[in-house]
Amino acid sequence: MTDGAQIEIDGSFGEGGGQIVRSSISLSLVTGKSFRVYNIRANRPKPGLRPQHLSAVQAALKISGSKAQGAEIGSRELWFDPGPVRPGNFRIDIGTAGSTGLVFQTLLPALLGLDQTSSLEIRGGTHNPKSPCFDYLQETFLPVLSGMGVMVEKQLQRHGFYPRGGGEVKFIIQPWKDRSKVLEMAGPVEWQGPSVEIILAGLEQHIAERERDELVMRLMISPEQIKINFLASDQGPGNVVLLRFFSGRRTEMFANFGERGKRAETVAHELAREAKNFARSRAQLDSHLADQILIYLALSGGGRFTTNYLSSHFHTNLEIIKRFIDLEAEIKAPAPDLSLVQINPKRVS
């Protein structure tokens, strides 16, 4: 049911990508506010909705009584009128190697607001560049949310790499009953590790060995801290390197993906650089998690956290959330490589 006037959103502002559409859908389903987003991905090589963005729209329609106009490939405008979200056991086949993680994150806030348990079985890409892989959701994203009272069971049934896809994941989502908890993750962290896992499917073994050797040199760790996991060739071709830091029960994960034309050494070098910069900052959350957690702070008691880098995704997502939910955000820089973010919701719509 539409609540008030339609929200108008310029899809080219800030980061200017598909996240604007996905975040708007999440917030529309939660608040009951309709929106129109125009200039969708206007500055990208292929502007408009692409299959991976359209899959999020279609998934939102599947779990609710919502209506949408402009939900087609290449569309540069989308009108979304939210309807009641219903519990159920939903199967979503993206149909491509589009990210299962991004579809899950689009639907999660709405399904948490129900009074019954729901399940999502999603088929598509489980390990994609520029999106949260299943391991990250399982070990980093969802454990932080569990500290806020969010309970989600998760299962990886089959890996799916870009561009082939074919992966399968399952999530069981419990109602979010207690939203009073305030997130407090502002203190410095002495991260331990790292440990590294290299996953290879349907590709030659020397790729993993070269990534291992580069990481040993860049991180100054022993080869024993690096595990190579070979998957069945029918789950590939695919290659991902997962680097984990630990602190108590917390795990921070960084991932980088092998791609056609990209040297194995480059994959490992990029990953090592990002991970070392994070650990050196002693921040609580990596830049991706800082972006992804914002909506849950807006829908709960708020809180504060530190991160080593505020990305364009973060700033864009924060502005989108403010269009739907009344909140105050304060950002400080206690150190050159450290930001302190505080979110104080004024009211939950």
- Residue 4 reports pLDDT greater than 70: no
- Is residue 76 domain-shared with residue 58, that is, in the same domain? yes
Q: Is residue 298 part of a domain?
A: no
Q: Is residue 14 part of a domain?
A: yes
pTM summary value: 0.95
CB atoms within 10 A of CB 202: 16
- Is residue 267 domain-shared with residue 245, that is, in the same domain? yes
Domain that holds residue 37: 1-85
CA distances from residue 160 to 101, 141, 165, 167, 205 in whole angstroms, order as listed: 11, 20, 4, 4, 19
Higher pLDDT, 150 or 130: 150
Q: How far is it, in rounded angstroms, from Cα 100 to Cα 104?
A: 6
Of 128, 155, 178, the residue at which a domain comes to its end is: 178
Q: Is residue 98 part of a domain?
A: yes
Strand order in 78-81's β-sheet? Answer: 7-10, 35-38, 78-81, 67-69
Of 248, 281, 314, the residue at which a domain comes to its end is: 281
Q: How far is it, in rounded angstroms, from Cα 159 to Cα 109?
A: 25
**How many distinct structural domains can be found in the chain?**
3
End-to-end Cα distance, the chain: 13
Q: Is residue 55 part of a domain?
A: yes
Q: Is residue 130 part of a domain?
A: yes
Q: Which residues are catalytic?
A: 313
Of 281, 296, 313, the residue at which a domain comes to its end is: 281
CB atoms within 10 A of CB 165: 21
pLDDT for position 303: 96
Helices marked H in 149-257: 205-219
The model's pLDDT over 211-255, given as tens digits with 9 standing for 90+, comes to 999 999 999 999 999 999 999 888 889 999 999 999 999 999 999
- Residue 2 reports pLDDT greater than 60: no
Tokens standing for 94?
């993206």
Q: How far is it, in rounded angstroms, from Cα 1 to Cα 34?
A: 8
Write down the mean pLDDT value for the chain: 95
pLDDT band at 16 (very low <50, low <70, confident <90, very high): confident
